[in-house]
Amino acid sequence: MLNDNKIRELIENAEKARTRSYSPYSNFKVGAALLAGNGKIFTGCNIENAAFSPTNCAERTAFFKAVSEGIREFTAIAIVGGKDGEEREFCSPCGVCRQVMMEFVDPKTFEVIMAKGTGEYRISTLAELLPYGFKPDNLGN
């Protein structure tokens, strides 16, 4: 369980990442801050594409950055999203992002922080968001 200071730090990092969003089609900017097991924070933003399917979510961007640097243990992720000039909403990870998370975390302990800001957030475990997720163990040996 994360303390308030660490949660605030993750949300602030997600807010900074959100400012780098490339979202000219939806105008829905998302930022994510992923806390690795070693304490390092990896950020990501959503990156849209005119063809839509090559679009990458903020959460996957953060995970892919971390994994590409050899990090494979994670504790939590904070996610913020919304359109500029509109009230923020709690931004839940999409199904594809949830499945990517399932590849690398313990779903019973990994915390997903969905925030409107540092003072207003919800925390769920990945198991709560994806109760029947497909894990590498499902493939057998």
Active site residue 59: yes
Give the C-alpha separation, 128 to 28, whole Å. 25
Helices (H), 36-125: 58-68, 95-104
Set 15, 48, 59, 111: catalytic member: 59
Cα 61 to Cα 44: distance, rounded to the nearest angstrom: 5
SS3 content of the chain, % helix, strand, coil (to 5): 30, 30, 40
Active-site residue list: 59
